[in-house]
Amino acid sequence: MLQILFPNRCLKCNRIIHSEEVVCDLCFDQIHFTHDHFADNNLLKEKCTLLFPTENAVALMQFEDENLSRKIVHQLKYGNREKIGKILAKWTLEKTDLNILNPDLFVTVPLHPKKLKKRGYNQLHLYTETLSEELKIPFDHTLIQRNFYKKAQAKRSIKEREETQNLFSSTKEVSGKHILLIDDVFTTGNTISSVAWELLKYPNNKISVLMIATD
């Protein structure tokens, strides 16, 4: 009944679409996918390497002003549409080969408990769990904790974005692992860098990065 009264609509053209989709088939081609691949030296990998030792890095989409990718990510984060994470995981599996990395563990960037309570979900969890189930690679949503409550990156000044020291800490020691860090949007890279260095302080860890989008 709800689907009849409030049908799911394409984020681009407003056409009625299946409840499990986010854009229609006609608008899908307007999504700016990066076409990155873990085996290539792409721009995201170059940016990450400047910040911390990076095995590989890839982003699914380009995060540009007024484009469809931005609308999708914003709906995932702020539109109470957690299920979009499952769709994005499907696209990631179609457009990248995560098996080429052979990671030992997926680790997500956490929200502060206050923000998690307010939003009701971490936008990365269903996305990561879908990848984990498909690839049979374990995940850990609790390995990293966020120590301070801060505004969203998009709402913070450049100076505030740079103030990420001690923003994260690990809840237990993990060593000898190739960890794939997963986050939604790469902006300055300070957030993902802070998490990476927290994990690299333990012996023999390696870090790769998977972003839903990069601006």
144 within 8 A of 166, measured Cβ to Cβ: no
Tokens 């989409």 label which residue? 61
pLDDT digits (tens, 9 = 90+) for 38-78: 767 899 999 999 999 999 999 999 998 778 999 999 999 99
pLDDT digits (tens, 9 = 90+) for 146-197: 998 765 555 555 555 555 568 999 999 999 999 999 999 999 999 999 999 9
pLDDT interval class at 213 (50, 70, 90)? very high
pLDDT digits (tens, 9 = 90+) for 100-123: 888 999 999 999 999 999 999 999
Count of residues in the chain? 215
pLDDT of residue 62: 94
pLDDT of residue 157: 55
pLDDT of residue 151: 59
Return d(Cα 51, Cα 66) in angstroms, integer: 28
Domains delineated in the chain: 32-214 (3.40.50)
Angle subtended by helix axes 43-51 and 190-200, to nearest 10: 60
- The answer to whether residue 209 scores a pLDDT higher than 70 is yes
pLDDT of residue 5: 55
Whole-prediction pTM: 0.89
- The answer to whether residue 2 scores a pLDDT higher than 50 is no
* Mean per-residue pLDDT over the chain, rounded: 90
pLDDT of residue 99: 84
Phi, psi of 60 (to 5 degrees): -75, -45
pLDDT of residue 159: 54
Ramachandran bin of 35, using left for φ above 0, alpha for ψ from -120 to 50, beta for the remaining angles: left
58 within 8 A of 37, measured Cβ to Cβ: yes
Return d(Cα 37, Cα 152) in angstroms, integer: 28
124 within 8 A of 182, measured Cβ to Cβ: yes
Around Cβ 6, how many Cβ atoms within 10 Å?
A: 8
